[in-house]
Amino acid sequence: MTEYSILVVDDEPDNFEVIEALLPSDKYALHYASRGEDAIACLNIFKPDAILLDVMMPDVDGIEVCKRIKAMTLRQAIPIIMITALSGKEDLARCLEAGADDFICKPVSGIELRARVNSMLRLKQQYDRIRSLSKLQNNSIALLKNSLNEIRGSLDFTFPGELNVSLHSILGNIQQLGSKLEDLNNEEVKSLLSNAQGSAQRLDRSTRKLLMYLNLAIETPQPRIADRCLAQTIIEEIAQRRARQAGRPLDLILDVENAELQVSDDRLRWLVDELLDNAFKFSPEDTTVEVRGQLIDNAFHLWVIDQGSGLSDNNMDRSGDLSGLLSDKPDQPIPQDEYSRIKAESNGGVGLGLKIVKKIVESYDGLFLVSSIYQHQTTVHITLPLASTVSRR
């Protein structure tokens, strides 16, 4: 049974004994103070759910104690029942004016005492419930505000660039087709169309990334126990495909231990795909892209190391004719190394890639670290949780 904390304040200990005999100890934990000042000073210790307060006391009387407690912001919600020998209307009015929630006239009867105490406890519970609810709401609002600010930042900084690059490319190609159609030969038309199609595909991919990012940012996914996948198979498969697509199968170095991860198959694929897309995109041909996976200290560590600069110089080519349209915007503080890569990405049209990786890793309480040796090497290091036990190597 729930135990309610009841503070009895009465200068006569015998009166406490009466109340003690009337309230069963399995339901109520009784505390006692013989003086008003003591009662006020000990509220922190007793943490009462209700107070039974004698009116007639020497020094500080019950009315005064009641007034003082009701003036305390943190304590005013504690229901106070005044116990009084006086039953004149004026006396009762004085109690209510002092802020008392209820009163009981002496001699105290058990039935009345329990009924009034319980009704006050009900009030207190309702109050507590409302307060915890409003606390919860405030927390949710703060959380939403943070997510919103983050999304706003990403949208301001990253997304317009992504859209612009692809859209301008599509528009540019179509305009050329429209204005010079008569002068162009078949090959040139095909080339312009294929450029436009490539850009449309990039736009499509950017849009899907944005959706993925928004999903992750708005509703942080809760990891589920059922989320399991085999690291080695997925990482090798995706890394090899990315290397082939980049036309650099020989540049890939794979050294991944196998482990069963507490990560959903789908998210690991997104994550690895973004990391390798990034690595191949921003490193020169005929330089290595190394993918290393190791079990250390009960976590899976994944490193993707490329020989790219981490700066935007070498990806300007990829962003085509339109790279000049993008100004170097100042942005919110991101560590220098991470900043350059994310910015570089943005110019290339895949600015959300690393942010998605980061979000996914964070949703599993993992580490996300980007480090660069200036114009020489970039390493992304992440950790992911293992499924209960370590599986075969």
Partner 1 sequence: MENIQQDLSLATTDTVVGGEVTGRETNSPTDAVGNAESPVVLLVEDNESNIQTIASYLRAKGYQMLLAQNGYEAIQLNQEHRPNIILMDIQMPGMDGFEAIQHIRQSSHSKVPILALTALAMAGDRTRCLAAGANDYLSKPVKLKELTMTIQEWLSHNEGSTDRDLN
CA distance 315 to 305: 17
Tell the smallest beta-carbon distance from residue 86 to partner 1 (Å).
22
13 is a site residue for partner 1 (CB under 8 A):
yes
Shorter beta-carbon distance to partner 1: residue 37 or 265 = 37
The alpha-carbon radius of gyration of the chain (Å, integer) is 35
Q: In sequence order, what are the residues at sequence separation of 6 or more whose Cβ sits closer than 8 angstroms to the Cβ of residue 70? A: 76, 80, 98, 99
282 is a site residue for partner 1 (CB under 8 A):
no
CA distance 345 to 162: 9
Question: Kind of pairing, strands 229-230 and 50-54?
Answer: unpaired
Shorter beta-carbon distance to partner 1: residue 7 or 252 = 7
User: Tell me, what DSSP letter sits at residue 386?
Assistant: B
311 is a site residue for partner 1 (CB under 8 A):
no
110 is a site residue for partner 1 (CB under 8 A):
no
188 is a site residue for partner 1 (CB under 8 A):
no
CA distance 279 to 119: 67
Check: CB of residue 91 under 8 Å from CB of residue 84.
yes
Q: Which of residues 30-69 bind partner 1 (CB under 8 A)?
A: 30-35, 37-38, 41-42, 45-46
29 is a site residue for partner 1 (CB under 8 A):
yes
Nearest-CA neighbor of 127 among 50, 28, 27, 25? 50
Shorter beta-carbon distance to partner 1: residue 41 or 367 = 41
25 is a site residue for partner 1 (CB under 8 A):
yes
For residue 45, the tally of other CB atoms under 10 A from its CB is: 9
Shorter beta-carbon distance to partner 1: residue 6 or 256 = 6
Q: How many of the chain's residues bind partner 1 (CB under 8 A)?
A: 22
4 is a site residue for partner 1 (CB under 8 A):
no
Tell the smallest beta-carbon distance from residue 48 to partner 1 (Å).
10
Under the rule (CB under 8 A), what is the footprint of partner 1? 11-14, 16-17, 20-21, 25, 29-35, 37-38, 41-42, 45-46
